[in-house]
């Protein structure tokens, strides 16, 4: 069953997100859509899967699989941040597996329930839903983003198996190693325009367009300077924290202090308890044992007014920014989300419009995104909006949960530069939780290693040695 697409275009008002993409894929072939953040990858994949948001206008001269208009037997894995709110208010990954029955109805448009554990476990559950759907066309957006090496290898292997079984695979990814392993053909996007396409081996080995060459260039190498020990006041402390779910411990005996202007790294693989620890530190989850102290006081002893103030000063940049959708609704725009955050931060209405634009520029996003619906953003765009939303209240402590998930090289560099600038200029403290040792060495001066949620009781965080790292 060939998949044929001709002159696919997606617009959001005056913003042309996808500008005339065409390709043909035979059964068992994989097309990789690559490009920098905000280049139109997610808009293209949503259009293929019939999952575009109401503010999107989609057109094409040809868009079908085996002469039947799409979506037909299309299984779609959204970007890592795309989630829905269930009737009881809980958040769950949004996964669409659309399979056409003989009578013309869809057999199912499934959504995976909340999987226990952190992001990696939920992402694997979502991918199992997609790969187990029996669909002949599989559309996956950043399938390996935010996963550790073990989980990433499993995802690549599973997609390769579906290819070998005759499925057509279309994926968007910043993971160029995964692209090289899976793709037969590559389309390179820049601001929605296909600037280069062809066989994957040729495009990856000998790119013709200058922007493709920059995209495929090796990582930026930096010398991490030695840092003096932090001597500022303690702004956040974990004391023998413990938390479990259904009898299974997620966090055990974790203790550390974070000082003003310091960046502390928390290093652990998928399922090690990083996201649970972030929620405990932020006060959105209460521990089974131990305590979190904010400016010397445990969360439960803070008054309601003090909690509101602390939550403005202690912000989380989540790995999965679903809270933006849950708190503001799926039709909310980038502008309304940031305006609301500034209002919470006490910024007068007269100055908020300029401040919203300034926040977008600070994280490297175009102000043209102001009127885009948040639900239609790519994973990378939504992550940067989440960073801007956290900065809106002028926080004193930032908790970064896998901060580089779904970001390309330049966007990764901007986030790391932002962490360094906030430390140096505003004395902001950071806790950086990641599975990536290189990121931890780049961003943090000390590291807490987690092994299945455990950090030895009384153990001191390990100082990070200065060395050269790649980002």
Task: Return all residues near 425 (Cβ < 8 A) that are at least 6 apart.
Answer: none
**Residue from 294, 295, 390, 283 nearest 345 by CA:** 390
Left, alpha or beta for 253 (phi > 0: left; psi -120 to 50: alpha)?
left
C-alpha Rg value of the chain to the nearest Å: 22
pLDDT in tens, the chain (471 residues): 688 999 999 999 888 999 999 999 999 999 999 998 889 999 999 998 888 888 899 998 877 766 666 555 678 888 775 544 332 223 333 333 333 222 322 233 333 333 345 666 677 778 888 888 878 899 999 898 878 788 888 889 999 999 999 999 999 998 899 999 999 999 999 999 999 999 999 999 999 999 999 888 855 554 444 444 556 799 999 999 999 988 888 899 999 999 999 999 999 887 788 989 999 999 989 999 999 999 889 998 999 899 989 999 999 998 877 666 667 776 789 999 999 999 988 888 888 999 999 999 999 888 888 988 888 788 788 888 999 999 999 999 999 998 887 777 777 888 888 888 888 878 899 999 998 888 888 888 899 988 765 665 445 566 654 443 333
Q: Same fold for the domain at 3-217 and the one at 223-470?
A: yes
Q: How far apart are the first and last CA of the chain?
A: 40
- What is the sign of the dihedral through the CA atoms of 43, 45, 51 and 57? positive
pLDDT for position 138: 92
Report the C-alpha gap between 327 and 258 in whole angstroms.
29
**Residue from 468, 416, 407 nearest 444 by CA:** 416
Task: Return all residues near 398 (Cβ < 8 A) that are at least 6 apart.
Answer: 315, 316, 317, 390, 419, 422, 428, 429, 430, 431
CA dihedral 374, 18, 25, 128 (to 10 degrees): -10
| Domain edges within the chain | 3-217, 223-470
pLDDT for position 323: 66
What is the enclosing helix (H) or strand (E) of 389?
A: helix 379-391
**Residue from 367, 260, 390, 268 nearest 321 by CA:** 390
Residue-by-residue DSSP string for 344-365: HTT--HHHHHHHHHHHHHHTT-
Q: Which two tokens stand for residue 306?
A: 């003090």
Q: Report in angstroms the alpha-carbon separations of 258 from 424, 427, 431.
A: 15, 12, 8
CB neighbour burial string for 270-301, b if at least 16 within 10 angstroms, e if fewer: bbbbbbbbbbbbbbebebeebbbbbbeeebee
Reply yes or no on domain 3-217 having CATH 1.10.10.10.
no
Given the structure tokens 């989540």, which residue do they identify?
318
pLDDT for position 95: 35
Report the C-alpha gap between 329 and 50 in whole angstroms.
20
Report the C-alpha gap between 150 and 404 in whole angstroms.
18
Cβ distance 302 to 291 under 8 Å? no
Q: What one-character DSSP code corresponds to residue 398? A: E
φ, ψ for residue 100 (rounded to 5)?
-90, 125
Q: Report in angstroms the alpha-carbon separations of 284 from 278, 294, 315, 360.
A: 9, 13, 11, 27
pLDDT for position 463: 62
pLDDT for position 456: 55
CA dihedral 72, 73, 74, 75 (to 10 degrees): 160
Q: Report in angstroms the alpha-carbon separations of 18 from 47, 53, 191, 333, 397.
A: 10, 14, 8, 19, 38
pLDDT for position 269: 84
Report the C-alpha gap between 275 and 320 in whole angstroms.
10
Report the C-alpha gap between 299 and 430 in whole angstroms.
18
Cis peptide before 71 (omega within 30 of 0): yes
CB count in 10 Å sphere of residue 467: 10
CATH number attached to the domain at 223-470: 3.40.50.300
């Amino acid at each position: 069953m060939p998949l044929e697409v001709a002159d696919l275009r997606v617009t959001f008002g005056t913003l042309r997100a996808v500008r005339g993409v065409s390709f043909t894929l035979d059964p068992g072939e994989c097309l990789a859509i690559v490009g920098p953040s905000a280049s139109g990858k997610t808009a293209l994949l949503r259009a293929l899967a019939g999952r575009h948001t109401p503010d999107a206008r989609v057109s094409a001269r040809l868009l079908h699989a085996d002469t039947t208009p799409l979506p037909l037997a299309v299984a779609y894995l959204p970007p890592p941040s795309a989630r829905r709110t269930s009737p009881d208010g809980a958040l769950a990954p949004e996964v669409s597996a659309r399979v056409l029955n003989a009578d013309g109805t869809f057999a199912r448009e499934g959504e995976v329930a909340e999987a226990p554990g952190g992001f990696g476990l939920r992402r694997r559950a979502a991918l199992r839903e997609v790969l187990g759907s029996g669909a002949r066309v599989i559309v996956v957006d950043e399938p390996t983003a935010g996963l550790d090496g073990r989980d990433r290898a499993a995802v690549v292997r599973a997609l390769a198996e579906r290819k070998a079984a005759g499925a057509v695979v279309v994926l968007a990814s910043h993971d160029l190693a995964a692209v090289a392993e899976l793709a037969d053909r590559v389309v390179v996007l820049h601001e929605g325009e296909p600037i280069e396409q062809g066989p994957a081996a040729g495009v990856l080995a000998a790119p013709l367009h200058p922007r493709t060459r920059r995209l495929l260039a090796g990582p930026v190498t930096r010398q991490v300077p030695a840092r003096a020990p932090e001597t500022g006041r303690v702004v956040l402390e974990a004391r023998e924290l413990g938390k479990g779910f259904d009898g299974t411990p997620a966090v055990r005996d974790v203790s550390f202090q974070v000082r003003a202007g310091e960046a502390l790294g928390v290093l652990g693989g998928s399922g090690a308890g990083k996201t649970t620890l972030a929620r405990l530190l932020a006060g959105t989850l209460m521990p089974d044992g131990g305590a979190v102290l904010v400016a010397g006081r445990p969360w439960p002893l803070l008054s309601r007014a003090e909690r509101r103030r602390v939550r403005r000063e202690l912000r989380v940049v989540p790995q999965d920014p679903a809270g933006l959708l849950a708190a503001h609704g799926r039709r909310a725009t980038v502008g309304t989300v940031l305006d609301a955050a500034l209002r919470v931060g006490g910024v007068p209405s007269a100055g908020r419009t300029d401040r919203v634009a300034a926040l977008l520029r600070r994280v490297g996003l175009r102000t043209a995104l102001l009127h885009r619906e948040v639900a239609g953003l790519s994973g990378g765009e939504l992550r940067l909006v989440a960073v801007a939303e956290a900065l809106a209240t002028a926080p004193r402590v930032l908790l970064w949960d896998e901060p580089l998930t779904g970001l390309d090289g330049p966007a990764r560099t901007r986030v790391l530069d932002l962490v360094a600038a906030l430390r140096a200029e505003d004395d902001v403290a950071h806790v950086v939780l990641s599975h990536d040792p290189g990121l931890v060495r780049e961003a943090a001066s000390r590291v807490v290693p987690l092994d299945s949620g455990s950090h030895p009781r009384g153990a001191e965080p390990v100082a990070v040695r200065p060395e050269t790292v790649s980002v």
